[in-house]
Amino acid sequence: MGKRILIAIDNSRTSIEAVHYAAQLAQAIPPVAFTLFHIQAALSTYLTDEAQHKPSARRALEKVAAENRKKSTELLETAAQRLISKGVDASAIQLMSLPRSKGVADDILSYATAAMVDAILVGRRGASNLRQWLVGSVTANLVEHSQVVPIWVVDGTVGSSDILLAADGSRSSIRALDHLAFMLSGQPATAIKLLHIRPVLQDYCEIKLDGKDTEAAQSVLWDYDRHCMDDFHSQAVTVLQKNGLDIDDMELTTLDGKISVPKAILRYARDKGFGAIVMGRRGRGKSSFFGSISRGVFQRAENMALWVVP
């Protein structure tokens, strides 16, 4: 079954890294096609208003718009040549340039949703300035506002095409499994690698309890965690079968949490040579943006891709 990935292109270094990662994935999860997508530079509001009643302003506006289209097309063609040079068939590449409408992130999401692409791939920007990234970057807005389409965010150079799914037993992690299983479907000898970190009491309660109370509370927490993962496993059977896979294709590793869960996930991924981590955007909590675990992984990931599934 074919898959289509939209790659958000701009003139940044992070955009080039996203293209390189896409070429790497083309070898790992074929058949896959790419839409290279760019939003043209914004037109002057003043010039747009003046063009409604001044012919000279209209001509100037048309000239600026034509120049924006030209630069956008050149940018996309350069990105396409990068993919082709790394072995991607030209027939699997589509170029799409659109004028800005609502805003870069909104325009990307609108097109991706209408085109029913399977994921949006984007380089992470603002990593050196976390405050700026959290409040305003295109990447953050894509991750926060995508309701349907998974967002794949690339940070730096990704050295491996191996993919790890971080599962906590939530409905969000089932959706993440569904997305990963679909992307890997049709591949021979497919193995889906999952990691589950058993939570410790400190992840939920900062109050220091005495010995017996701590032991009792930890026991309750692990019972709850076991129930969630048992339910996850039963739902995973249906998800894998839907994508032409078998439960035997799923390999689950469970570790006891001794440090923060995000750090444990990242440490395991790096030690085992994974290039990407797949996570649901929200875990067992009810936060409207990231859950605390996915947010922690996102903030710390370096030279890695994070697939965030709404």
DSSP β-ladder status, 32-39 and 3-8: parallel
Question: Could you tell me the fold of the domain covering 1-155?
Answer: Rossmann fold (3.40.50)
Which CATH code, of 3.40.190.10, 1.10.1370.40, 3.90.420.10, 3.40.50.620, is assigned to 158-310?
A: 3.40.50.620
List, in sequence order, every beta strand (DSSP E) within 103-199: 119-123, 151-155, 163-166, 192-198
Per-residue pLDDT at 190: 80
DSSP β-ladder status, 304-309 and 151-155: antiparallel
The per-residue DSSP string of 205-230 comes to: --SPPPHHHHHHHHHHHHHHHHHHHH
The per-residue DSSP string of 286-301 comes to: --SS--HHHHHHHHH-
Cα 269–291–235 angle (5° rounding)?
A: 75
Contacts of 288 (CB under 8 A, 6+ apart): none
Per-residue pLDDT at 128: 45
d(CA 296, CA 201): 18
Per-residue pLDDT at 113: 97
Per-residue pLDDT at 299: 83
pLDDT in tens, the chain (310 residues): 589 999 999 988 899 999 999 999 998 888 899 999 999 998 877 767 777 888 887 888 788 899 999 999 999 999 999 999 999 999 999 999 999 998 999 999 999 999 999 999 999 864 444 434 343 488 888 988 899 999 999 999 999 999 999 999 989 999 999 999 999 998 877 889 999 998 776 555 544 555 666 677 667 777 888 888 999 999 999 999 999 999 999 999 999 876 688 899 999 999 999 999 999 987 655 433 456 788 888 888 999 999 999 9
Number of CB atoms found within 10 A of residue 111's CB = 18
Every domain of the chain with CATH number 3.40.50.620 lies at 1-155, 158-310
